[in-house]
Amino acid sequence: MKALSLEFYKFRRRRIFLIITIFLLIEILWMGIVTGKSVSRNPDYAIWELPIITLCSMNGLFLPILTAICVSRIADMEHKGNTWKMLLSLSVKPAELYRAKYISASIIMLWVCVLQMLSIIIVGILNDFKQPIPLHLLSQFLIGTALTNMVIIGLQQWISMAIKNQAFALTLGMIGGFIGMTADLLPQQVGRLFVWSYYAKLSPIAQSFTNERMNFMVRDINSLLPMMGVLIVLVVGIYLAGSIHVSRQEV
């Protein structure tokens, strides 16, 4: 807990929350414009499914890069300040430091998910959606996005801490964004091999096109549980592999 609070203390002047929030606002603005235009063209689209699926598809591109930025900033302050040796000589275990950084990045990215959930509600209210706020769909969206984020944070933190040159970590974020955005174009068996595609795969809404019209279907949470199980295993596996590798590395 002390290590975690020290992490927040260290980046208190780095405005990570503010920067991440500003970047996120661009995505939210885009989602709001897409929803508003679709509703004004066809009032039948004034349903909660539309902003949820729009955000889920955009998350495939946006969140891997946002995660890379967030994690890189948290890890890079130690590389830049050359403080790894100092921290480790203060009898802080490397694994403890790794855990504190992982949790602080997860908290920031959870803030992103909560903000996205709130933005869906605001967009729905502004576009005068008649149905009540679907809390079950929103919580399903929150769980799916947060879980995918946690796997990606694990990957990014591993690279960001193991390799001093942050260009590689940011490039991984870029590759993730590319795969996250295009995974739906690939055959399902191939697409599911990439963790970045799970923002869309764990979306509580599925969409299909018939006669140039978008149709939305609510996915049953039970059908998503096996995928969530796989992601939980990946979270643990990638975290442990990264923690062990970085802890054994010479600083």
Partner 1 sequence: MLTRCISVELMKLRRSRIWLILMILPIISVLIGSVNFYLNQGVLKYEWYSLWSQVSLFYGEFFLPILIAICCGYMWRLEHFNKNWNMIMAAPISAVWIFLSKLMVAGLLLIFVQGLLFLLYFLGGTLMGLSSKLPRELPGWLLRGWIAAITISALQLALSMRIRSYATTVGIGLCASFIGLGMYIANLGLFFPHSMMVVGMGVISQKSISPGDMIIFFIMNIIYIVAISTFAIRWIKKSDVIA
Nearer to partner 1, 79 or 219 (CB): 79
User: How far is residue 148's CA from residue 146's CA, in Å, rounded to a whole number?
Assistant: 6
Query: CB within 8 A of 37, min separation 6: which ones?
Result: none
Interface with partner 1 (CB under 8 A), residue total 35
Asked if 165 interacts with partner 1 (CB under 8 A), we say yes
Shortest Å distance, C-beta 237 to partner 1? 24
What are the DSSP calls for 29-96, one per residue?
HHHHHHHHHHHHH-GGG-STHHHHHHHHHHHHHHHHHHHHHHHHHHHHHHHHHT-HHHHHHTT--HHH
Asked if 42 interacts with partner 1 (CB under 8 A), we say no
Q: Burial level of 81, CB count in 10 A (0-12/13-18/19+)? A: exposed
Nearer to partner 1, 111 or 247 (CB): 111
User: Stretches 61-69, 88-96, 118-126, 219-227: which one binds partner 1 (CB under 8 A)?
Assistant: 61-69
Shortest Å distance, C-beta 166 to partner 1? 5
Asked if 214 interacts with partner 1 (CB under 8 A), we say no
Binding residues among 175-194 for partner 1 as defined by CB under 8 A: 175, 177-179, 181-182, 185-187
Binding site for partner 1 (CB under 8 A): 14, 19, 23, 26-27, 30, 33, 61-62, 65-66, 68-70, 72-73, 76, 80, 165-168, 170-171, 173-175, 177-179, 181-182, 185-187
